[in-house]
Amino acid sequence: MPTLPAMSDLPANGPSTLPARDWTSEDAWIGTRRPILEAHALPADAYTSEDFAVTHDFWIDVNNEDVDVVQRGQVGLNSGSYTPGRLSPRYEEPLHRFHNMLADRMIGISRIPDGDPGDDAPLLGTGVNPLPWHRYTATT
């Protein structure tokens, strides 16, 4: 069973592919022949200790803060004072690379894709902004 609320969205859990032991185990299978995530955190009896309770409470607090930050960001994006646009290739290359890795894993390819071209390469969005910022009003 997932520990944090955000982990409850994992699509499907299956049996661990590692040998049986007294460790907690979660696998996430997303249309693949093998798990894309396999987590083995602590021995099962560690979850009942008082020391773990402090750590668990901290994890819950941090996770709740993260959820709150993301939700507030979405409210800000929907406020009308932000003009949406494409990903910034220069600053979001790691995100683009991660999405490529995830897409590869979903179809059974296990590789780390090359990164995007360096800073001296021409990038999307380096010309005139087709959607320049403007304040939205009731008439626009």
- Block means of pLDDT (10 residues each) for the chain, 140 residues, are 43 45 54 58 74 85 91 80 62 78 86 68 53 53
The pLDDT score that the predictor gives to residue 10 is 40
Length of the chain, in residues: 140
Q: What are phi and psi of 18, to 5 degrees?
A: -95, 160
Q: Residue holding tokens 């409850």? A: 8
CA distance 92 to 70: 17
User: What Å distances lie between residue 18 and 26, 34, 47, 81, CA to CA?
Assistant: 11, 12, 20, 50
